[in-house]
Amino acid sequence: MVFSSSVFLFLFLPCFLAAYYLTPERYRSWTILAGSTAFYGWWRVDFLALLLGVSVWSWAWARVNVAAVGKAKRRALAVGITGNLGALAYFKYWNFGVDNLNALLTAAGVSPLELGRVLLPIGISFYVFQAISYLVDVHRGDAPPEKSLVSFAAFISLFPQLIAGPVLRYKDLADQFQQREHSLDRFAEGARRFMVGFCMKVLVADVAAPVADHIFGLTSPSFAEAWLGTLAYTVQLFFDFAGYSHMAIGLGLMMGFRFIENFDQPYISGSITEFWRRWHISLSSWLRDYLYIPLGGNRKGPRRTYVNLLLTMLLGGLWHGAAWTFLLWGAWHGLWLSIERHRRHRLTPGGLDHPLAMARTMLLVMVGWVMFRAPDVGGALDIYTGMLGLNGLGIRDTVAWQLPVSGMLATLIGLLLVYSRPLLERTSVARAHGLKAVAPGLAQLLVVCGFVLAVLRLGALQHSPFLYFQF
């Protein structure tokens, strides 16, 4: 089940919210667990066993860790993390490993192995990371061990963020599971956030997607085609993923939870370092706290710092998907993080006040998105060749008629929204004309109208998955 579906909007969500608010407060974790189980099981019932298994495993080993002393504590932590990583490795990387092994065997003249394919459970990358952070935080004493298995399972399976984040940490929600605010104002705030995210997904990301999909499927794209496809995907990915995060945060607010913000205008960054402070904030902070710092961070000299940055981003790339394209994308960002670390005293702040730094960063980000989006390394090289103008310059007639005008318009609108928002937030025109009280009402009206339009458009769509479901 996805947020951008009629089943979720008109059946699941109203039924869940009604049940949630009719349930006495002390039993609402049970309602969350039941609703999240139904939400996840709508896709495949059999993978519920894996989700609940990760919850029970992590909860049990955290309790063992708390009861243990000395080296036994570290062993308990190691066993808990190994079990979670083992599940993630099997389901996410088995096919990748088999394919590469068979490629090596074939090159050596040996018959490939006949091994079965493994289906990737949706959301596994997110809920496994949440389980690992819980084990580490309990071990460090940063989070209290949850006594109730039901409450912990409700946290791991919390449906607003279960499929594509944000990557939550139990220590940030422990108090909210004990007591959280339920008010009309918070519910209204959540509804507004959900509607904004829904519009981002359905009216921008989904409309721009056909342009990106068509051009990334071409062989030998021209200069204009390659850059148009890359721009379309740049818009699609941001509005798809940030839209999901808006919806997840909004649903959390409707239930009384306040989740971490996951995006902070990443496309106005003045460096790749700043970009990762603004893009997928919950993941970048997770990689920093549970991978980069334990590896040594910047405490062991410059060379080790560069190695740690590169290794962290390589693993971050691999987390996104089991493919060489994701590894190379991670290496690209790790390389630039290292370069910027080396030249940190020369970096220019980003934002609209520093357009050259922002343009340079966006160029680097877009070059990386090509590898992130391409079906394989060869497909990425085709796009790069086109971006250099080696396959001609203009859009060919055979391509132009297949590119929907609505998709190109959505790409343009997306870019305008990305770069006009900072200007609108800084302007003092509204205050100067006495419109301070009117503007919020007008904005809310626009959001509601956009949501109605998005719902109407949703009726014409057969399928509208989120990009990060595959990760």
pLDDT digits (tens, 9 = 90+) for 386-428: 999 999 999 998 899 899 999 999 999 999 999 987 776 666 4
Of residues 214, 280, 320, 333, which has the active-site annotation? 320
Q: Are 254 and 242 in contact (CB under 8 A)?
A: no
Closest residue by Cα to residue 156 from 94, 69, 72, 87: 87
pLDDT digits (tens, 9 = 90+) for 89-108: 999 999 999 999 999 999 98
pLDDT digits (tens, 9 = 90+) for 283-303: 999 999 999 999 998 888 888
> Can you tell me which residue has the tokens 């909860």?
59
In the three-class reduction of DSSP (H, G, I as helix; E, B as strand; rest coil), residue 390 is classed as: strand
**Virtual torsion, Cα 134, 137, 139, 145, nearest 10 deg:** -60
Mean pLDDT of the chain: 90
How large is the C-alpha radius of gyration of the chain?
Answer: 23
pLDDT for 43 equals: 79
pLDDT digits (tens, 9 = 90+) for 347-365: 666 666 688 999 999 999 9
Q: What are the start-end ranges of the H helices in 68-148? A: 71-107, 124-140
In the three-class reduction of DSSP (H, G, I as helix; E, B as strand; rest coil), residue 392 is classed as: strand
Please state the pTM of the whole predicted model.
Answer: 0.91
Q: What are the start-end ranges of the H helices in 28-70? A: 28-41, 48-67
Q: Burial level of 159, CB count in 10 A (0-12/13-18/19+)?
A: buried
Q: Decide if 320 is catalytic.
A: yes
- Distance in angstroms (rounded) separating the CA atoms of residues 259 and 263: 12
Q: What is the mean pLDDT of residues 266-274?
A: 94
Residue 435 — very low, low, confident or very high, per pLDDT cuts 50/70/90? very low
Is the pLDDT confidence value at 2 over 90? no
Q: Are 113 and 23 in contact (CB under 8 A)?
A: no
Distances (CA, A) of 458 to 5, 81, 239: 7, 41, 16
Is the pLDDT confidence value at 318 over 70? yes
